[in-house]
Structure 1
């Protein structure tokens, strides 16, 4: 039970005695609701079991569940009807005395089902013989028969037991079942009898609970503290007292001569018990109470509250006797069951038979005498709602049942002393980990161990008492705090145990690994030593062979130098792979030994051939065209013009002018020719050398000098005489035309940024050789037919182009660093 306290906030406590607010009906109801919502239908009040009908199958009545509760201490497992049955049977066997289980509750609360579960538990778990098997089957099969005769459909239950059932099970292998069958108890007289019965049973419960508490206190040597509780003996006396009680007054009215009516019975009650504190009629009530009581009604203050009874029909019901001749017929019946229900001795007795009320009182008295002679166990059944719906909890209905079942009164009696008690052995076994002195083993008496434990925890004197065999804890909060501390320490303890266990396992593994490592090291050192010895021997032999081979290395191949030469070949080939040239321009090669010179030459030729092949295969058509252009450039300018080396590292462009940058009119004028190359240029006039921005466009047939939308000059390749540039780094380009071409006025002087590229493109379109002249110092050009001009090339700190005082065009360029 203690293990479930950690979840008390969610599922409540398993024993109402552990409620802090044990006098609060709301706290009682809230705990019941929490457990019901988690399908926990059973809760204890000490040893009394409260059962809430779930109206659904919960799977908690299996054979495995029965076996789980068999032979287990009462509070060791969660509350269950099997726990009640098991402990009643165990204590009967150990103490050799009789026990009874009293099941009560209103119609539809599950009393019949509870009794069936108890019978099934006994049938399954008790020692079995063939005779007992037959008796067990009869007992279980008796329920449907009794229900067929005595059950009825009521407003609250479709299969309500309309009789009080008393079953006596004798465990000497003879089982018999008796039952009192009564008519449907639906009217006031019957309700009066029922409530009278409930009062007597409540009186028995309280007295036996108090007696059990007092006996336990005396046995444990703890001082008994008087308990304040409502003693309903005063109500029982009001009903049953000889000559003065309500039943006696009712009998007198039934047998007195003269006219007797229900009203005269009520007046007799007012006369004889009118001054009783728990009796009230309309006549005796005050102004407020009269409104709630009718003229033919009286009110009793039961332990569960006030109940109003209508006297109409009381006399008739009390005189409801079976006629004598009908009894004679039934006594002679051939049906054994009917015959056994009526005794022949009753027919021989000529006295007036007792009334129904007196019979009921005598029957109840006999039942109580039987119950008083036995040890009690109680089950209180509660109906959660009127519609028999699962998972529905009707607070008002359940609050009403809590009251009339006397559960709060029973709890107050049970909690008046101590909320929790447990044997020293069990308490110490559970909580010993909370104290260093008691953990892990306590060697002394359990009582001393518990005393040491609670002193260490810090219990105050008013929180506990120590008995002879048990510890008594007064407040639930003390137990809760202890359980919470235990739960916390349990996690720490588990962590320590796990750490210790893991350390033990790791230590064991470590020792095994260490021993294995020592053995392995020993074997390994031996193997290494043997290997080293073999290696030294082999090394000596190898060194001898190589010395002899080195001495005879230049001799023809023979046994003395064979291994050395093979090694030299292998070593050279292996080293050569790290010194193979990466491209065709790399002329490096690993120097071979003398004996391998021929082989080295062959390998070098193969490698070069392979590099050339790989290089050629990797050249695209576009790159090939660019390279061809560079070849032409090299033929034209290598060693002749500054800046040539820098040009080689940069690829030529297909054109330096996008088609979108050319005026559409110009494109229209030369639409029959495809532009092969274009570049922005500066044109210098032949006479004044004035600079003008132009475009040089090269087609397959001619070169065009363009100004915006005009073609300023068209030079057909057939009339182009040659091209001149300087040997310096300037971008001057002179296109010479043939004097026979009368369309041309003279040679064209241009300057462009990419002079190598422009001249190369032009030469490749001309498809002629020897047309480029790289001039040193100066060059002549034709200003007009018969008239020549000169361009002078110099170097200086900055680039300049100007007309000097001699009328010549002077071009100054900055000498490059590589020149």
Structure 2
């Protein structure tokens, strides 16, 4: 369907949000696009002046046939619009007052005008046209509500499975306190609603009805017989005619409907008075009316609702064609004949025939519906949009064929309120009730009493007249399912709605010319980022700016047209070109901003880690010079490339620290171990030779010890500059020598505090106690303990002298205990990362430089600087592989035996017939540097050298790694190990 997934403002878009841009215009493509957006929670799509919404939150589960449009979310969409206007508009006391009324009027009107139907728990049973009036500055300073077509017959009659208006149930639950009404009005309105509910259920069997009216309505007894009789005649004389039971029920129902309708009108009028404005400037109107309805049994209410929807569909098509100024090859307004079928008077339409039957058979209800049905068959049976059946008739609406049951049509159409009932209400002692019936009964009345159908016709015509004066924007609400569940998609149901709503035809109308159109200013604002000249603001003629942008993306001239104020783009693909270019620009800038932010956060975190680590040892332990200004890497053995080690750690456990250490046993024998720290545990991993099985003789990694972080009791260190530390645990302790002990202890302290909410105990002394592991069973096999004693010596390398139960460590003085970081090594990105180092030999230089036992210290290590091997520098090194000097000695074939030796010593003639050698070319002058310290290469592309070696500099790099040549070999070396000559 021409899907175009893209990210706009970092929000993923699914399908196309403007269906005019679909590559194929058919029902299947439209449905597929709607489905993709619905499944990705994008419920809005648009085209032309129409917005299409798919809502599922307001659906109702049922077993009846399709109930098109009802419950699809029209009322909620109207609330969104009013809420949006309230949020984005200005402020001020008057403006805020109007905003509050706009938002708070919804629950009040829904209580009196909404009800539960078989398809919708909160169905609007009235039409509402809400005008929000604005000042010249764009602030809402007034408003007006016009209500249409209230289904007041629901007060006295409902279909099976449905309910009356919400207010009657709220009154029974004693729900009060509408924000727009005062306490007195709230009590009065609630009381009248209770009276209406009670009145609609009364029967004419006793004098209880008389007592009810006298008690609650406080009317005069002399007017009570209005419920049982009716006056016939003129002004000079009249006759009281007693009503039969059926006529009395009609009168009772008419009074109930009139009371509820007039209370509803009073509420609307009260809201309008609170927002009244003396003059109109600008306004936005929001029409919310009940949708098309098709039930298994459709009655008079469905007939009226669908008639109004036909009228709205008719003006929608007319205004759409007028806006686009095109004519379709087919006749899109064919369904206007449905409106004529209902409204026409010559020959009579359905409503005219219905009113005539109600007028001629007003005294009785039995047989009236069949009489109406017979007249319909006689008058309009030959109409192309009308068919009859034994119990009713069928109308061919734009949404499909609907069968109407004639039962109850005449009864519900009667909306006569006799003057006797008006006099009865005007005699009430309650001022509010008297105000609801302000009619002047002495005025001369002419013509037939109005019916519900005639009132609906008038209101529909008034509504159409109002809408035709506006510039319309339409919202079509599509119902994706009938199960009231999210992500439930009924394709056949959606496709049917797409067809009868005419979405394909509307898209074709819009695509008849150009698919995309926009005024110059908005186009420039959206695509200004494409060029430097237009960003941030184009300073020149807007038309020339648009043309500049189109040329910048090399759009073909036949794909666009420039009008006086708008640009028109023909094909959707051309618009996609602009959008993709725009997104790439934003993506590039976003990546730049993200990179800068990540650098800042990483640097901040790194500085914080260094400060925490320094504070742990400050004034408690002497420091090594190179440990003060060292970057924290974390993973020094490349755990991501070591599955044999990773197998001992949980799958989702982060590696905080990993390094090779020396672990000392009870005899102070040094053993190599891999020390790994995770947020949960400390691991010590060693290696053993397999003694049996198919892998016999192979060396395998073995988990020697696992200590939970929270079980560590303390960590002991000396006060000197050595690298020894003891991890104390309840069972036994572990003596370790770790070059990066400061980093390890700082991370361990952080994880310990996270797990226990306590600080990690650190002990500093020149004599450390170590508890040994218990071997065997019984008290005679106790583990015992050992001591590690630290004494002042010479040099930076620890000298170990083990004895029976004591290890003596001799080491020279380090930096003072109060030493802090001297400087922060600048780098493009400094971070403590999991798996941040892929080269397992990263710290071999520092690790190998610190030998112990009885060996002499290596000269030159006393001022050993730190290697600049942070993450970004390692990446730079990987991107700049130095050319390797290939060793071709293996290709030489030596001469064998004494003869060979003789041949090598024989003087050979000089090539060239004894001519003198040409003068050699002078060697080019290259910059050189002198090595200050010895450096051992850590990788194949690095250069090894000793102190005082002279190195030719081939290339200098800001990362700190230079390319040089020494003794015929070329490679990388750290620039802080050398000084330029």
Which TM-score band applies after superposition, normalised by the shorter structure? 0.3 to 0.5
* TM value normalised by structure 2: 0.39
Structure showing greater radius of gyration is 1
* TM value normalised by structure 1: 0.46
